[in-house]
Amino acid sequence: MPQTYTNNPGTGPQTGVGRDYPMQMNIGRIGELADIGPSLIVPGNNETAARIPFGVPLARNGSGVLNNSVQVAAAAGAILGLSVLTDVHEVSHRQAATPYQEGIEPNDAVNILKQGAIYLDVFQAVAVGQPLRYYRTGVNAGRWGTAAAAGVSLALAAGNWEIERGAAANGLLILRVNAPGALTFTAD
């Protein structure tokens, strides 16, 4: 939550300078936790050659050396969780030209959300109760929506998740994961 201030030079015999600090709320960022409720985050490692974006589903990386090696999910099946933006990433990317959007660099630690609420980037309007799909390829790769696209999207199987707050196209929705062991994707 950034703070803004305006100068107040003071009048009369004052020797100090006053400042006004109104609070300014910002919307969440892609992959950021949406609330401070109970959440379960486990560690992983990006042993791929590519950056892993925030707010995407993760699967085990069989090509990695470490047991907790992960990659972006590319096929139907169970997932480990969603890549989450935490304060560790915020600190390390604070000086970047486009902070918070880079993702997890190769060979860096990955935080995996297994339970809790997270902001996800949608390219279509999504309402509470609608199906949710992750687009693994195509022009909307790495984003979420509702329409099935054969060979392109993966549908989040019915189960222990809910859209807590829908979003307009190109907005951020809040997805709550309620049971960490039950997230799976089916192919469209």
d(CA 4, CA 19): 10
Strand partners, 154: 134, 187
- Indicate the pTM of the whole model: 0.81
Q: What single string gives the DSSP state of each residue in 7-76? A: EE---TT--S-EEE--B------TTBBS-SS--EEEEEEE-SSSPBPTT-EEEE-TT-SSTTEEEE--SS
Amino acid 160: pLDDT = 85
The answer to whether 150 touches 103, Cβ cutoff 8 Å, is: no
Average pLDDT over residues 164-180: 90
pLDDT, averaged across the chain:
83
Reported confidence tier of residue 15, pLDDT bands at 50, 70, 90: very low
Q: What is the DSSP letter of 182?
A: G
d(CA 107, CA 19): 44
The tens digit of pLDDT for each residue in 94-148 reads: 555 554 457 898 999 999 999 999 999 999 999 999 999 999 999 999 999 999 9
More confident residue, 5 or 146: 146
Average pLDDT over residues 21-50: 83
More confident residue, 29 or 10: 29
Amino acid 1: pLDDT = 46
Q: What angle do CA 51, 115, 117 make, to 5 degrees?
A: 80
Amino acid 28: pLDDT = 82
Report the percentage of the chain scoring pLDDT > 70: 76
44: pLDDT strictly greater than 90: yes
